[in-house]
Structure 1
Amino acid sequence: MANSSTTESAEALFDATSSDGDGRASPCSAQMEGFIRAERPALLSWLRSRTALEQDAEEAAQDCFMRLLRYQHSKPAFAWRFLLYRIAPSVLADRARRTKSHHAADHVQLDGLDIVSAEPSQERIIAGREELALLRTAILDLPPKCKQVFLLNRLHGMTYAQIAKHCGISVKMVEKHIHKAVTLCLAKVEKGG
């Protein structure tokens, strides 16, 4: 019983063209079309017994008939069956070589797999840029002394003691400025502006 892909494959063959020896394309003859319709089930059965998948047998049959079309005008119709079964093992061998050379057994199907990237999503990148812009604005809006102490610590990596000496204030005052800066910046970023 032919399924729809078998029927579609057969129909594609009848629309195919072949070379008639002088380079011109000629359509599949009615005699060849009848031969293909008659031989297709037997060829598919023969190919199914030698391939792992139904689809492989279908594709191999298509390849066999396409190769056979080259001979429709150069060989008599009574020789086509013999040619077809000489072509078929050749097609299977070609497909096996192609599969082996392409390492098909090592291929992994990606359909249905959730592949997660280690890279952040575009949404996360945009959100990060927005948060960075808010933080920059929050730092720029800090009171001058508070901003200076915060930047000396976070940007220049100075210790509280170094900042105290640099600014002429106590370490305790540096701690208060840092605490105030962090609190104001967090509030502004969490508020969103």
Structure 2
Amino acid sequence: MSQSRFNDVFITQRTSLLRTLERMVNNHSTAEDLLQETYLRVTRALSERAIDHLEPFVFQTARNLALDHLRARRIHSRTMVEDVPPEVVQSVAAPASNAEDAVHAEQLLERLNVRLSQLSPRQQQIFILSRLHGHSYLEIAEKLGVSLSTVQKELKLIMTICIGVAENSHSKP
């Protein structure tokens, strides 16, 4: 199955996928993020193996991502205790990491920083607004005076770069 065939299926089914995700997670912005992650996951899967029944695979991938999101949100809400003062929560020690993990994380951040610094100023702004400030795609489009499609395409490219940096870091010591 080719990437161009997947792109056609994705574009054709995008609205239906988005509606399905919105119903599941009850949040348009989160659904957009999950839709983008679906695209990236299926693209990665296609590069690794042939997929015979593409449409069901795409929908199942999206549903699985939504279920993972909901599960993580449920776990997060169970672990957040409103009665505990913030200073107590902050005093809990984080799991210790060894020096090798710290060096690896630092190298990964450095490579990611290098790649992100090569983005255009608009791409950098889109990334910051989306991933650091949590703005929705629509908010970003309005703020920057670009189309929603432009924001989606730019974020897809940026996330592909981020995933590539992360995947390459696993193959390097």
State the TM-score, normalizing by the size of structure 2: 0.40
Structure with the greater relative contact order (CA < 8 A, sep ≥ 6): 1 or 2?
A: 2
Instruction: Specify which structure has the higher proportion of helix.
Output: 2
State the TM-score, normalizing by the size of structure 1: 0.36
Rg larger for: 1
